């Protein structure tokens, strides 16, 4: 079963490439035919992640050139070697982490958000205000979407929630005038960061694109960010190209990354505009904006999951002693229901369980993992009641809790037998997940550089 879970986690490209190369064992050098075969899988993975077709073509060509004729390093299998090249190229293409915005030496700094309809501009504007406020800025939000019904109101409500002022002139003034007046207002009220929300628009709508150009000409934003939905398909390149050539973009915000989209649009964006993705939206709450990590995105696009984020989060949340103790217990199959309760509370500190599970492809779609993710705070109360209604003997031997014991526990905790069953089931699942955490942790500790080690190092669970 554990093995099954692991396969699910790392299924996708890595496994397919392993398959492709299995028959090549013993070869010392990658030939063109080998590489062609592998590139078909790479192409499929990238297209499946919605990387633009043209971008894929060029990328595959480049990787192929690099891979052919390469000696296979002693430490690697051919499959690992190709994955390493693909991954390195992909991460390099997406550039380093650059979650900074251009700050003007002469305040206020002006940021303008642009993009298609429904990409998430308004929410991102509020999130950005929230994030940058934490670095000491004094933001002003500007309601520049005068077209969509209640868009102004939406920004006002978000501003209120954050206690950040929102500048609006209603929906009868032109966005250009609004932007101009907003900057004056910011200067007058000592705001050093102006974030301008704009209406969603089609990149082929000349009139609407002209409007953005006019705002730019009027106030000269220091930073123009294109907001892009992570689920965007092939059209991402046209959109990026059109906005970039008209406005000259400085960066991208990739939204809705908390779902299961593989986010190939990120790669297309970078390839077309040369602009880095600076921030990632990972939830509806106003603090759900994160710096963007190209290397992790590379893994996600390739279908290898955001395993690193997960590990990092887990590390930040569990202290080392606790992890060591837990690892020991898991190894000795001593993990008990008491530990479960404690762990449940710990795991919850990592963030919403759904979000954590969502970072691991394969896991997110596993029914059993879904059940685990369904535990919410209210249920936690039941879980606690149920576990507390067990005798110490039972807590140490959950698998020996039979029907009549289950009925007694249900009565004692004021729950149903089904609820008791489901807690026991969730316990089993957690045990498995914990074991995975610990295995990931192990493979990390052995080698120095984390990302490289996870995917190419010896003794790594992947290969």
Partner 1 sequence: MGIFDRLKQSLTRTRQGLVEKIETLVSGHKSIDDDLYEELEEALIQADVGMDTAVDLIADLRREVKARGVREPEQLTSLLQELIGDILGQETVPLNTGGPPAVIMVVGVNGVGKTTTIGKLARYCQSRGQRVLLAAGDTFRAAAIDQLEIWGQRTGITVIKHREGADPAAVAYDALQAARSRGADVLIIDTAGRLHTKSNLMEELKKVGRVLGRELPGAPHEVLLVLDATTGQNAISQAKLFGQATGVTGIVLTKLDGTARGGVIIGIRRELDIPVKFIGIGESVDDLRPFHAGEFVAALFDRRDKETV
The 3-state DSSP class for residue 316 equals helix
With contact defined as beta carbons under 8 Å apart, do 355 and 373 qualify?
Answer: no
Q: Is 338 exposed, middle or buried (0-12, 13-18, 19+ CB in 10 A)?
A: middle
209 near partner 1 (CB under 8 A): no
Count of positions on this chain that bind partner 1 (CB under 8 A): 60
Query: How many CB atoms within 10 Å of residue 189?
Result: 12
Query: How many CB atoms within 10 Å of residue 302?
Result: 25
Give the Cα separation of 41 and 55 in Å (integer).
Answer: 15
Q: Which does 187 bind (CB under 5 to 8 A by kind): ligand GTP, partner 1, none?
A: none
By CB under 6 A, name the one of 78, 144, 175, 200 that touches ligand GTP: 200
Site string for ligand GTP, 98-117 (x = CB under 6 A): -------------------x
**Tokens (6 digits) for 403:** 């029907």
Q: Which does 231 bind (CB under 5 to 8 A by kind): partner 1, ligand GTP, none?
A: partner 1
With contact defined as beta carbons under 8 Å apart, do 223 and 102 qualify?
Answer: yes
Q: Which does 204 bind (CB under 5 to 8 A by kind): partner 1, ligand GTP, none?
A: partner 1
In terms of CB distance, is 160 or 328 closer to ligand GTP? Answer: 160
Shortest distance, position 170 Cβ to ligand GTP, whole Å: 18
281 near ligand GTP (CB under 6 A): no
- Residue 75 phi, psi dihedral angles, 5° rounding: -80, -10
With contact defined as beta carbons under 8 Å apart, do 103 and 138 qualify?
Answer: no
With contact defined as beta carbons under 8 Å apart, do 43 and 56 qualify?
Answer: yes
- Residue found by looking up tokens 């002022």 in the block: 165
By CB under 8 A, name the one of 15, 34, 50, 211 that touches partner 1: 50
By CB under 8 A, name the one of 153, 331, 349, 425 that touches partner 1: 153
- Residue 324 phi, psi dihedral angles, 5° rounding: -60, -45
Shortest distance, position 203 Cβ to ligand GTP, whole Å: 11
Shortest distance, position 34 Cβ to partner 1, whole Å: 21
Give residue number: closest CB to ligand GTP: 117
The 3-state DSSP class for residue 354 equals helix
175 near partner 1 (CB under 8 A): no
Handedness of CA 33, 37, 42, 48 (dihedral sign): positive
Site string for partner 1, 98-137 (x = CB under 8 A): ------------------xxxxx-----------------
In terms of CB distance, is 2 or 204 closer to ligand GTP? Answer: 204
270 near partner 1 (CB under 8 A): no
- In the beta sheet, which residues pair with residue 281? 289
> Which residues in the 326-385 window bind partner 1 by CB under 8 A?
354, 358, 364, 370, 373-374, 376
Shortest distance, position 279 Cβ to partner 1, whole Å: 17
What is the enclosing helix (H) or strand (E) of 403? helix 403-413
148 near ligand GTP (CB under 6 A): yes
233 near partner 1 (CB under 8 A): yes
Shortest distance, position 187 Cβ to partner 1, whole Å: 28
Give the Cα separation of 322 and 269 in Å (integer).
Answer: 42
Shortest distance, position 71 Cβ to partner 1, whole Å: 31
422 near partner 1 (CB under 8 A): no
Q: Which long-range contacts (CB under 8 A, 24 or more apart) does 456-462 make?
A: 456/75, 456/76, 456/80, 456/83, 456/84, 457/75, 458/75, 461/6, 461/10, 462/10, 462/14
- The binding site for ligand GTP (CB under 6 A) comprises 117-118, 148, 200, 202
- The binding site for partner 1 (CB under 8 A) comprises 43-44, 47-50, 52-55, 58, 116-120, 147-151, 153-158, 161, 202-204, 229, 231-235, 237-239, 241-242, 256, 258-262, 264-265, 271-272, 284, 354, 358, 364, 370, 373-374, 376
């Amino acid at each position: 079963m554990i093995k099954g879970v692991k396969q699910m986690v790392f299924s996708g490209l890595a496994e397919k490439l392993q398959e492709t190369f299995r028959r090549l064992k013993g070869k010392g050098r990658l030939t063109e035919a080998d590489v062609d075969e592998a590139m078909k899988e790479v192409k499929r993975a990238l297209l499946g992640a919605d990387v633009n077709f043209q971008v894929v073509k060029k990328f595959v060509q480049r990787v192929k050139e690099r891979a052919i004729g390469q000696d296979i390093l002693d430490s690697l299998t051919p499959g690992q070697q190709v994955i390493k090249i693909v991954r390195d190229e992909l991460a390099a293409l997406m550039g380093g982490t650059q979650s900074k915005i251009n700050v003007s030496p002469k305040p206020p700094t002006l940021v303008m958000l642009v993009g298609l309809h429904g990409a998430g501009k308004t929410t991102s504007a509020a999130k950005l205000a929230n994030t940058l406020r934490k670095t000491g800025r004094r933001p002003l939000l500007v309601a520049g979407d005068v077209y969509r019904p209640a868009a102004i109101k939406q920004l006002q409500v978000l501003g209120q929630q954050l206690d950040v002022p929102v500048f609006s002139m209603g929906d009868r003034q032109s966005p250009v005038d609004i932007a101009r007046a907003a900057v004056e207002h910011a200067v007058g009220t000592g705001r050093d960061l102006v974030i301008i929300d704009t209406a969603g628009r089609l990149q082929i709508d000349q009139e609407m694109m002209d409007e953005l150009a006019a705002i730019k000409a009027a106030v000269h934003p220091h930073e123009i960010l294109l907001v892009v939905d992570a689920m965007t398909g092939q059209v991402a390149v046209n959109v990026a190209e059109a906005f970039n050539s008209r406005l000259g973009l400085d960066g991208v915000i990739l939204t809705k990354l908390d779902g299961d989209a593989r986010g190939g649009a990120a790669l297309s964006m970078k390839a077309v505009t040369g602009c880095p993705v600076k921030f990632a939206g990972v939830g509806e709450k106003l603090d759900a904006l994160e710096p963007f990590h190209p290397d992790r995105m590379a893994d996600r696009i390739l279908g290898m999951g955001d395993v690193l984020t997960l590990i990092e989060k887990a590390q930040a949340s569990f202290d080392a002693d606790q992890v060591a103790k837990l690892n020991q217990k898991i190894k000795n199959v001593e993990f008990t229901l008491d530990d479960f309760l404690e762990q449940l509370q710990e795991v919850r500190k990592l963030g919403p369980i759904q979000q954590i599970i969502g970072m691991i492809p394969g896991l997110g779609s596993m029914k059993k993992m879904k059940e685990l993710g369904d535990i919410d705070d209210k249920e936690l109360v039941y879980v606690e009641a149920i576990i507390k209604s067990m005798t110490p003997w039972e807590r140490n031997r959950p698998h020996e809790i039979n029907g009549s014991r289950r009925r007694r526990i249900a009565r004692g905790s004021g729950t149903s037998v089904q609820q008791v069953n489901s807690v026991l089931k969730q316990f089993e699942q957690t045990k498995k997940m914990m074991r995975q955490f610990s295995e990931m942790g192990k493979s990390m500790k052995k080698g120095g550089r984390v990302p490289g080690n996870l995917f190419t190092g010896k003794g790594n669970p992947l290969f």
